Structure 1
Amino acid sequence: MKIVVTGSLGNISRPLAEELIAKGNSVTVISSSPEKQKEIESLGAKAAIGTMEDVAFLTETFKGADAVYCMETFGFFNPDFDYLQYIDQIAHNYKDAIEASAIKKVIHLSSIGAHTSEGVGILKFHHSAERIMNQLPEDIIIKFIRPVGFYVNLFGQIPTIKSQGIIVSNFGNQEKEPWVSPYDIADVIAEEFRLPFDHRKIRYVASDAVSAIEIAETLGKAIEQPHLKWVTVTDEEYLDGLLNIGMNKQIAEDYVAMQAAQRTGSIYQDFNKHKPTFGKVKFSDFAKEFAAIYNK
């Protein structure tokens, strides 16, 4: 199968490309960075250098492919950036390029929380992107992959752990919550490329369920800080912290709202109705990866 992968060599796209190539597929990886070309080609993939903002580039890259994997991403620190408008534009670009290139098989990276536009904070952009992609003709089969919170998001806590010896968030208690490894997401996407494209579907992905207390204990042991604690602050305190490090105000406010929805559990309403089988990478496995990054 000829498959186009967006997302350059990110946390999901790299292992996905590697797995697809290992299974004998012909893979093209889209990247906006010319510096990534040699690295992409070293995997055995073809590099397509261009941007998601360029519909003509996307259309030309998609032509001749059997299937595409689409994802959206953006930075958090541009003060003048309207992320909702941007995501809508990228989703429309995908939609237009898919139609123009006659692609019939699409896998789209979405997220937990995409089932609604209300009460999920920043994740509402996934709801909007799914809505736009669902406007494609019915003969184009789309599979929406909805992972839960990423283990790797915890890397953002490293500066606070090193400076204060704590993990800080506006959610977290003794209740277990689902988390996911990008490797398990890549495995699920690769599996969905092998499975029939006979109807549109939504598939949730999770790797393990752990509480905030367990996260602190496990990471503390891995980095040899046995007294590491998870400290839950108010929404206002957490927002102040994000703004102080320069995060875009709109994004910061919606990020806090997303984590507040984790605190109440409302973000998991649809996930709880369609719980997946957990993947292979457990939190204890990720703790080793975290320790390696922490100790660099």
Structure 2
Amino acid sequence: MNIAVLGATGLIGKPVTEQLIAAGYTVTILARNPDKAKALFPKARIVRADLRNPESLRAGLQNQQAVYLNLSVRQAEKPGDFHTETDGMKILLDEARRAGVRRIGYMSSLVMRYQGMNGFDWWVFEVKHEAVRLLKQSGLPVTIFYPSTFMESFSMQTQGPVLPLAGQSDVRMWFVAGQDYGRQVARALQLPGDQNREYVVQGPEAHTYEAGAKLFVDQYAKRKLTLVKAPLGVLKFLGRFSRTVNYGAHIVEALNRYPESFEAEQTWTDLGPPTLTIGDYAQQAP
């Protein structure tokens, strides 16, 4: 199968793209930075493309049976900015229909369900909900993935010898590794049929965020790490002066409070169970 990937160079896009290549897909990477994409994936076809530019997408989507989207709201974005998951999605869907694409795969979010719970209202989660609505109304067969918290978040948060934590995590989440998720994406897009599919993606073990972070720190192979905790209120206060910190405060609040339950039975049946634990990931993490 020929598949085009948008977001291949991101934290989770990279392991997904690696697994698509390993599964035998002919991968075309649509990237704003072709040099970066080529350095990561020297054997893949790279096309310079931007979701703001329909003509660039048109060239990259020719002869593609499927498209996988790994999009996100950047931490410094504002509500009125161009959002890849909604504004860009509309352009992409138009071009995908024109090119005859037969399936769209899209990484959404499980924790976005926290929108509206306990008075929580965040425009970023509304963008993500709107992206799902656009896909379901597109007329194209879509496969939507709703992953739990990725183990890669520990690597992303680590600053030198410190892994900072904010707030009190009272709920458990089923941490999943990007590599396991990538394998499930590769299998899902091979399934026949033209119906829409939705999969909750969860890992093999559940922990609170703090417990998961402690496991990661204890078993991280590259160097010694130390957990440093701060009250969520401090993060919220600093968020008044920084969009990036404000983003972090909102996502931490949602992760710490969303009452996640195990829902991945059908995903494991259809796509195979994940195998990597936090300890496994910590041993190979950069």
Q: TM-score range by the shorter chain?
A: 0.7 to 0.9
Residue in structure 1 matched with residue 88 of structure 2 by the alignment:
90
Aligned pair count reads 274
Structure 2 distance, partners of 1:225, 1:154, is 14
Q: Which residue of 1 aligns with 2:190?
A: 194
Deviation at 1:188, TM superposition (A): 1.0
* Deviation (angstroms), 1:89: 0.6
* Corresponding residue number in structure 2 for 1:128: 130
In structure 2, runs of 5+ residues without a counterpart are none
* CA gap 1:183/1:31 in 2 versus in 1, 3 angstroms: same
Shift of 1:83: 5.3
Q: 1:260 aligns with which of 243, 250, 253?
A: 253
**Counterparts of 1:1-296 in structure 2 under 5 Å?**
1-36=1-36, 38-39=38-39, 42=42, 44-77=43-76, 82=80, 85-114=83-112, 118=116, 119=120, 121=122, 122-137=124-139, 140-159=140-159, 162=161, 167-173=164-170, 175-207=171-203, 208-222=205-219, 228-229=226-227, 231=229, 233-234=231-232, 236-242=233-239, 246-248=242-244, 252-253=245-246, 255-266=248-259, 268=260, 272-273=262-263, 276-277=267-268, 279-290=274-285, 293=286
Task: Tell me the CA shift for residue 282 of structure 1.
Answer: 0.8
Q: CA deviation at 1:7?
A: 0.9
Alignment check: 8 A CA contact 1:212 1:230 kept: no
Question: How far, CA to CA, are the matches of 1:242 and 1:287 in structure 2?
Answer: 30
Partners of 2:81 and 2:151 in 1: how far apart? 23
TM-score, normalised with respect to structure 2: 0.81
Q: What is the CA deviation profile of residues 59-100 of structure 1, one whole-angstrom value per residue up to 9, with x for unaligned ones?
A: 22112111111221343236x674575532111112211122
**Could you tell me the TM-score, scaled by structure 1's length?**
0.79
Deviation per CA, 1:188-238, whole angstroms, max 9, x where unpaired? 110112212331111011223122443343233235758x4563613x312
Shift of the 15–287 alpha-carbon distance from structure 1 to 2, 3 Å rule, reads: closer
What whole-Å deviation, never above 9, does each CA across 1:141-171 have from its counterpart, x for those lacking one?
Answer: 1000111112122234323x73xx6632124
CA distance in 2, matches of 1:212, 1:156: 14
Q: Runs of 5+ in structure 1 lacking a partner?
A: none
* C-alpha displacement of 1:284: 0.6
Q: Distance in 2 between matches of 1:216 and 1:28?
A: 35
Q: What is the identity percentage for the equivalent residue pairs of Structure 1 and Structure 2?
A: 16
Residue 231 to residue 51, structure 1, CA distance change in 2 (3 Å):
same
